[in-house]
Amino acid sequence: MKFKSINFTCKSCGGPLQYVPATNSLVCSFCSTSQPIEKSNEEIVEHDFKEALNSLNVHKTQKFEREIKCSKCSATFTITPYSVSTNCPYCHTPAITEFTQPIKPESILPFSISQKEAQEKFRKWIGSLWFAPKELKDFVDGHQKLLGYYLPYWTYDAKTITRYRGQRGDIYYVTVKRRVMINGREQIVNQREPRIHWTPVQGVVYNDFDDITIEASKTVSHTILDGLAPWNTHKLVPFNEKYLSGFESEEYTIGLDNGFEYAKMKMDITIHQSIRRDIGGDQQQIDSKQTQYKDVTYKSTLFPIWTAKFKWKGKTYNYAINGQTGKVVGERPYSWLKITLFVIMVASILAGIFWFLQEHPQYVENIRMFLTH
């Protein structure tokens, strides 16, 4: 399916403009001319969740591979069905197409961490890993460039009412007689032992949730994306295509309804903690709970992420850096050669200490006297 592409060009030389993180500006790739991105006073709105679901039920979309014609060199190339922005593979001019999913992003978190800064944070993170293979350090220090992605996210607000039944455990102590050995003699002593008194309880807890963030993409592992949180959604700005220029971006592949199921799981952790506090006592047991979700709203937005992939010994390891905070998350390979050498070194040191103490028994006695005093 053919799509038009747009790009932003420099007024001075006609070269392509790309968004530069943390500057709120587009900069020309050739002459470095800067063009500020105009500030928008448009309000970022929360939308009613139920109304959107009713609308989506009658709005079906069919996804096709997108064929793009570069506005600079006129070359034609294809991108995946859910991609929205990329760079022309021939002249590297940024190419931005239209959103086709029924829900369009109305806000975005622009990149705050530059590629150079992200690369440095990634390098330090790799350097902190024990037993990582040398190839991973070479991978970071080499010419491998991090890829900047704007990935789709849902944010959800909700008020919850949870009714529960459970038990409250209060610790009390009893005195019992025990036979113990004291200085080689058996004696009977009194000892205090804890017991728990359980009382049936029931109640209701209320929680308000604001901006529960759920990744709406399958491009990067959910385990990795969850690790990038938290996101400061108070810094969201109204969506502007100029922030996409020079970066990859895509539409959501996890729907609004499925996203809310993930949000419920995140909310449930807080609800569980609220119930335990409400029960009180020293220990708590939750036998059952039922939650109602009210006033549910959502936003469709894009979050900035730097990504990298490291291939080693037939396996691919994925990495991501939060483009707002610089937090690094990823899968780590282990060098079994390094681990083996470390074990051999430790064993050699212990063997040396054992040999030394055997050859100099007076030190053993000195150590024993030191420990007993």
Tokens 């929205």, residue located: 84
Length in residues, the chain:
373
Specify whether the backbone of 39 is left (phi greater than 0), alpha (psi in -120 to 50) or beta: beta
Collapsing DSSP to helix, strand or coil, 97 comes out as coil
Closest of 249, 242, 264, 265 to residue 300, by C-alpha: 249
User: Could you give the C-alpha distances from 5 to 86, 174, 223, 225, 236, in angstroms and in order?
Assistant: 10, 78, 33, 29, 25
Using a pLDDT cut of 90, give the percent of the chain over it. 50
Torsion angle defined by CA atoms of residues 165, 171, 176 and 178, in that order, rounded to the nearest 10 degrees: 100
Q: Which two tokens stand for residue 207?
A: 């929680």
User: What average pLDDT does range 236-260 have in this prediction?
Assistant: 94
- The pLDDT score that the predictor gives to residue 139 is 61
Amino acid at the residue 350: L
- Are the beta carbons of 133 and 335 closer than 8 angstroms? yes
SS3 content of the chain, % helix, strand, coil (to 5): 25, 40, 35
CA 25 to the chain's CA centroid: 27
- The pLDDT score that the predictor gives to residue 262 is 95
CA 262 to the chain's CA centroid: 14
How many Å apart are CA 132 and CA 110, to the nearest integer? 32
How many Å apart are CA 273 and CA 214, to the nearest integer? 21
How many Å apart are CA 151 and CA 166, to the nearest integer? 41
Q: Is the peptide bond before 333 cis (omega within 30 degrees of 0)?
A: no
pTM above 0.85, yes or no: no
- Are the beta carbons of 317 and 129 closer than 8 angstroms? no
Digit-coded pLDDT (tens) for 275-319: 999 999 999 999 999 999 999 999 999 999 999 887 777 788 888
User: Could you give the C-alpha distances from 142 to 145, 146, 161, in angstroms and in order?
Assistant: 9, 11, 53
pLDDT: which is higher, 18 or 129: 18
User: What average pLDDT does range 353-363 have in this prediction?
Assistant: 69
- The pLDDT score that the predictor gives to residue 336 is 54
The segment with the largest mean pLDDT, out of 3-7, 128-132, 215-219, 235-239, is 235-239
- The pLDDT score that the predictor gives to residue 145 is 76
User: Could you give the C-alpha distances from 304 to 96, 102, 251, in angstroms and in order?
Assistant: 16, 22, 13
Digit-coded pLDDT (tens) for 186-211: 888 888 999 999 999 999 999 999 99
CA 99 to the chain's CA centroid: 25
User: What average pLDDT does range 254-275 have in this prediction?
Assistant: 96
Q: Which two tokens stand for residue 88?
A: 């022309």
Confidence of residue 243 (pLDDT cuts 50, 70, 90): very high
Give the least confident one: 4-13, 164-173, 202-211, 341-350: 341-350
How many Å apart are CA 364 and CA 341, to the nearest integer? 29
Digit-coded pLDDT (tens) for 26-73: 999 889 899 999 988 899 999 999 999 988 865 555 566 788 888 888
Per-domain residue ranges of the chain:
1-39+66-100, 50-61+104-167+209-334, 168-202, 346-372
Q: Is the pLDDT of residue 130 over 90?
A: no
Cβ-Cβ contacts under 8 Å for 312 (sequence gap 6 or more): 133, 135, 136, 333
Confidence of residue 89 (pLDDT cuts 50, 70, 90): confident
How many Å apart are CA 13 and CA 290, to the nearest integer? 63
What is the radius of gyration, based on Cα positions, of the chain? 30
Digit-coded pLDDT (tens) for 149-194: 999 999 999 999 999 999 999 999 999 988 888 787 888 888 899 9
Half-sphere exposure of 285 (CA within 13 A, CB side): 11
Digit-coded pLDDT (tens) for 316-338: 888 899 999 999 998 766 555 66
- Are the beta carbons of 213 and 229 closer than 8 angstroms? yes
Decide the pairing of beta strands 237-238 and 107-108: antiparallel
- Are the beta carbons of 110 and 21 closer than 8 angstroms? yes
How many Å apart are CA 301 and CA 308, to the nearest integer? 22
